[in-house]
């Protein structure tokens, strides 16, 4: 039974339905909506004294039309804001970027999009930013070539600091000047159209990483952050079926990226990577005393925390004397497992940590699914209002391999997540346009827009986590979703993934 009582306050009576199954706090909120007196300012007199938030309303024995007395005054009206409210449509670009914490882009200085896209992706590498912050230019090598590289790295640090503080596009004038001094190719002029020549983003990426590896060496000769966080190791074995008894030739080498070969048989990233790791070549055989066809099997023996994957989209087209582009669609994942490309020994060492991450992701996916179902049911019951649901966290302990624990900057699981993409639109490496797409970390920077709401896009899989991404089209920065990123696989005259930057999934 829900009795209707009369509440008397300041000479007026208010009829209130009392749900006796709810505590006194709910009744106070009803009075607040009728009188404007906040619950903490109310004194409601009931049998046995004053109504409290935790009072069991059923025990009060309220009767129909019973009169209750309430004392209390309405609080102060809200004061007008010191600064006038400014709506989004009235904000300047700088004010809007500051309100939404959208990071700044780089002004195009004339066919410099290859450089801008590269820098925006490299800026996501946390160890790089830390190494730049601690870099002392005075300790850089003293030869002229090394000194120029030291100035290039110093200007990169200053440029990243400007990007972190600015709400508007930043012109990379000083950095571009030193880049062209260190690598004159970036000062080449376009003989047909004038101005500076468009350049290759992959080449720019490699030269910047090489420069940082040389300049940002740590004290004590322990190497740079590049050798720790961005360099892997491989073991390559060469054999020939023409001489089965010939011992395999084994080489060990360092890698800074994986390649994805593209041909008619490649539709997915893993297929292209496998093709790149297993190749054939004609070599001289000492056993046979002649040339023979050899097959190489390349396996990864160390995985870095940050792993770029490059699509081999450009090839030299002799008939047109141009580096033409392969536009074929090759799908890539947001989450990448590269353990199949590793040596059996590394796979065994990574297995416990990998299983730990897999189990955690399964629990999180189940919690998200249950939360969505619970919120959907709650929304129907509460007329559209949703409340967050709680998920479980039963994690099984595991022992991380001692060698992996001691290897700072390695990936101990073989599992990666995509955090950056450099795309190219156009038909040749010396034309077109480059754009960077960088994943926004959740609860970092500006507010995270909600998915499925106004302007949001619902996930195809309710159990899959969703992320927003920053699209850096030079100094024009906007936000897109995971679904937009997956559309960058190629297959037409659209932005096509050229470099993917993956980061190791965290254990904690």
| 455: confidence class by pLDDT, cuts 50, 70, 90 | very low
Question: Following DSSP, what letter does each residue of 80-130 receive, concatenated?
Answer: PPSSPP--GGGS-HHHHHHHHTPPP-B---SS-HHHHHHHHHHTT-HHHHH
Output the pTM of the full model. 0.76
Give 240-284 pLDDT, tens digit per residue. 999 998 999 999 999 999 999 999 999 999 999 999 999 899 999
Phi/psi region, residue 337 (left: phi>0; alpha: psi -120 to 50; beta: rest), is: beta
Give 386-434 pLDDT, tens digit per residue. 444 444 455 567 789 999 999 999 999 999 999 999 999 988 877 899 9
Torsions phi, psi for 482 (to 5 deg): -55, -40
Mean pLDDT value across the chain: 85
As a whole number, mean pLDDT of residues 463-487 equals 88
The whole-angstrom separation of Cα 6 and Cα 66 is: 6
DSSP structure class, residue 23: B
pLDDT over 90 (residue 27): no
pLDDT over 50 (residue 460): no
pLDDT over 70 (residue 22): yes
The whole-angstrom separation of Cα 15 and Cα 35 is: 12
Helix axes 201-215, 113-122, angle to 10 degrees: 50
Least-confidence region, from 69-78, 133-142, 182-191, 461-470: 133-142
Own/partner contacts of 272-277, CB < 8 Å, gap of 24 or more, are: 272/311, 272/312, 272/330, 273/309, 273/338, 273/341, 274/341, 276/312, 277/341
Q: What is the pLDDT, as a whole number, of residue 427?
A: 81
**What Å distances lie between residue 36 and 73, 81, 118, CA to CA?**
8, 21, 57
CA nearest neighbour of 462 among 366, 379, 333: 366
Which residues are catalytically annotated? Answer: 113, 433
Contact 310, 258 (CB under 8 A): yes
The whole-angstrom separation of Cα 318 and Cα 500 is: 28
DSSP structure class, residue 440: P
- E strands, 320-367, are 322-325, 335-337
Contact 117, 434 (CB under 8 A): yes
Query: CA Rg, the chain, in Å?
Result: 31
pLDDT over 70 (residue 340): yes
Give 310-338 pLDDT, tens digit per residue. 999 988 877 777 778 889 999 999 999 99
Largest CA distance in the chain: 113
pLDDT over 90 (residue 36): no
Q: Across-strand partners of 75? A: none
Q: How crowded is residue 177: how many other Cβ atoms within 10 Å of its Cβ? A: 15
């Amino acid at each position: 039974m829900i009795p209707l009582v009369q509440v008397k306050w300041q000479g007026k009576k208010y009829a209130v339905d009392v749900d006796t199954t709810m505590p006194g706090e709910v009744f106070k909120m009803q009075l607040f909506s009728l009188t404007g007196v906040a619950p903490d300012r109310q004194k409601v007199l009931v049998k046995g004294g004053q109504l409290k938030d935790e009072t069991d309303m059923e025990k009060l024995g309220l009767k129909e039309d019973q009169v209750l007395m309430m004392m209390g005054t309405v609080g102060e009206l809200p004061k007008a804001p010191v600064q006038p409210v400014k709506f989004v449509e009235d904000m300047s670009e700088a004010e809007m970027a500051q309100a939404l914490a959208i990071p700044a882009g780089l002004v195009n200085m004339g066919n410099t999009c290859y450089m801008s896209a590269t820098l925006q992706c490299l800026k996501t590498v946390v160890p790089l930013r830390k190494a730049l912050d601690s870099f002392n230019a005075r300790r850089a090598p003293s030869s002229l070539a090394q000194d120029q590289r030291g100035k290039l790295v110093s200007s990169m640090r200053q440029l990243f600091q400007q990007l972190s503080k600015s709400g508007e596009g930043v012109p990379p004038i000083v950095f571009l000047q030193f880049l062209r001094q260190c690598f004159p190719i970036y000062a080449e002029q376009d003989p047909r159209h004038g101005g500076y020549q468009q350049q290759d983003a992959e080449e720019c990426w490699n030269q910047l990483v090489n420069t940082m590896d040389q300049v940002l060496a740590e004290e004590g000769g322990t190497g740079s952050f590049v050798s720790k966080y961005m360099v892997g190791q491989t073991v390559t074995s060469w054999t020939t079926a023409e001489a089965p008894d010939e011992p395999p030739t084994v080489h060990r080498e360092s890698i800074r990226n994986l390649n994805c070969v593209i041909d008619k048989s490649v539709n997915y990233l893993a297929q292209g990577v496998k093709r790149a790791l297993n190749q054939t070549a004609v070599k001289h055989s000492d056993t046979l005393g002649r040339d023979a066809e050899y097959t190489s099997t390349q396996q990864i023996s160390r995985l870095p925390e940050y792993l770029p994957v490059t699509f081999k989209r450009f090839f030299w087209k002799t008939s047109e004397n141009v580096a033409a582009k392969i536009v074929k669609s090759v799908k890539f994942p947001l989450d990448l497992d590269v353990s199949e490309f590793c040596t059996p020994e590394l796979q065994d060492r990574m297995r416990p940590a990998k299983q730990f991450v897999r189990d955690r992701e399964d629990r999180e996916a189940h919690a998200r699914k249950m939360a969505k179902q619970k919120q959907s049911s709650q929304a129907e019951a509460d007329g559209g209002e949703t409340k967050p649901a709680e998920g479980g966290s039963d994690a099984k302990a595991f022992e991380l391999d001692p060698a992996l624990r001691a290897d700072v900057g390695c990936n101990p699981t073989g599992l990666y997540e995509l955090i950056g993409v450099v795309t190219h639109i156009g038909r040749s490496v010396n034309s077109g346009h480059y754009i960077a797409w960088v994943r926004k970390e959740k609860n970092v920077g500006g507010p995270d827009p909600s998915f499925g709401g106004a302007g949001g896009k619902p996930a195809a899989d309710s159990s899959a986590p969703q992320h927003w991404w920053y699209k850096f089209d030079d100094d024009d920065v906007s936000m897109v979703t995971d679904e937009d990123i997956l559309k960058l696989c190629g297959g037409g005259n659209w932005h096509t993934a050229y470099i993917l930057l993956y980061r190791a999934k965290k254990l904690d």
